[in-house]
Amino acid sequence: MASCSTFNLSPSSKPTKPTKPLPHYFLKPLIHEPETETRTRIQTPYPKLIITGPSKLSGHVPISGSKNSALPILAATLCCSGTSKIHNVPNLFDTRTMASVLASLGAKVEVFNNEMLVNTDGVDSVEPNSDEIRKIRGGFFVIGPLVARFGEAVVALPGGCNIGTRPVDLYIRGLQALGAVVELRDGKVQAYAANGRGLVGGSFQLDYASVGATETLMMAACMADGTTVLSNVAREPEVVDLARFLNDSGASVEGAGSNQLVIKGKPLLHGSECVIAADRIEAGTFMLAAAITRSCISISPVVPSQMACLIQKLSAAGCKIRQYSHDTLEVSAVSRCGGENLQSFEVKTGPYPGFPTDLQPQIMALLTTCNGLSPVEESVFDKRMGHVSELLKLGAKIQVCASTALVFGKDNGSALSGSSLVANDIRGGMSLILAGLAAEGTTDISGVAHIDRGYENLDMKLHSLGADVKRLMPLAS
């Protein structure tokens, strides 16, 4: 966060309300899956996944709603008066935490299965619960809507996975370009409208096409006085989803999906209804599960055009991918002749439509089972190679230099066999599960809470495809 200290920040002249305790009414209990043979309670301090491989998968898997779309859309309900109804919200730690963040501001949040009702008319604080904000990166999204609608915000610096430097300087400079005074004090970002009324339209060019900064500034600008032009913005489908929700709520956002947004501020937005799109990262993960186990499965719903980069890589490796309907794909890596194997390929992550960084760890697990040498370059997050040390425990052969890895395939020394592993982040943890599916013997993975932040009912879905996956649950104290 050192970069934030270089700004000329003025102390806020406005009082801020203290963080409130969470109300008891805000969240109705979620309906959880019943315990099955995949969930066993034993004497263990933390949940674990036990995978016995190698696995062969078959069947169909439904793809849940996108976490990366749900979080900013839930934050965007703060821009809207009245009630917003959000369908297909994945039941994940991160979405539940975002509900807690909204409730700590005074919003009323009700949850029914995968549906959330958010009424923001009772919001009476501009400072969300700091403990909740620090649990997830997405909690910081609320700073844009709060300053836009209420003229001020006090938001703790965000938490989330430790996958590298993710500074908030773009958020801060963008808000300043819209007429906010911003100060970083005591681990919190304090912002208020300099004119004492509200934000004003302006122009801002992002140094890097950050998804989070794009979404936060889009929400802030949609209620600013005048027109805002944001350049070099992120083009991810999740940005388009957020723009659609804001427009349905009365905003005027043009250019979503391109590298420039033109936003005409409106004084008032209203609640609306939306359906969270399918999670393209979960879809890609299951496509890689089929590939690494040399299996054939189908997935839906999915937007094939959003998967183009992964489809190209898997097809080049030797997988067969068929589109059965507008939202259904079949992925097959079944060997036609006993001796065939998938071939290596090169991967470099980048902003959409480039190869997604959120699939880099999983595709690296696949590459350990292919023939040949595969260079993998991570250009988005500077610490997204943490999973390599765990893959090495399984027998993978990988050399890392800074943010580039060279993966040695099956014919160059990688031979996966079961081991005890620790997941340290969402996607890195998922790469360990995929490797465990392909490994000989038993793999046990702790740190499952990280993985659960990004995948709804993961072990149950894998079990339905035929994987031998069990969740060991700790005994209640």
Q: Tell me 163's DSSP state.
A: S
Residue labelled with tokens 């805002």: 228
The number of helix segments (H) and strand segments (E) in the chain equals: 14, 26
Coil, strand, or helix at residue 436? helix
- 4 catalytic per annotation: no
- DSSP β-bridge partners for residue 349: 355
DSSP string, 12-45: P-S--PPPPPPPSSS-PPP-PPPP-TTEEEES-S
Q: Are 135 and 97 in contact (CB under 8 A)?
A: yes
SS3 for 231-273, per residue? ECCCCCHHHHHHHHHHHHCCCEEECECECEEEEECCCCEECCE
**Set 4, 80, 161, 319: catalytic member:** 161
Positive or negative torsion for Cα 104, 106, 107, 108: positive
Q: How far apart are CA 329 and CA 108, in angstroms?
A: 38
Q: Are 347 and 313 in contact (CB under 8 A)?
A: yes
In terms of Cα–Cα distance, which of 148, 176, 155 is closest to 251? 148
Q: Are 65 and 278 in contact (CB under 8 A)?
A: yes
The end-to-end CA distance of the chain, in Å, is 38
Alpha helices, H only, 293-425: 308-317, 360-367, 388-393
Cite the active site residues.
161
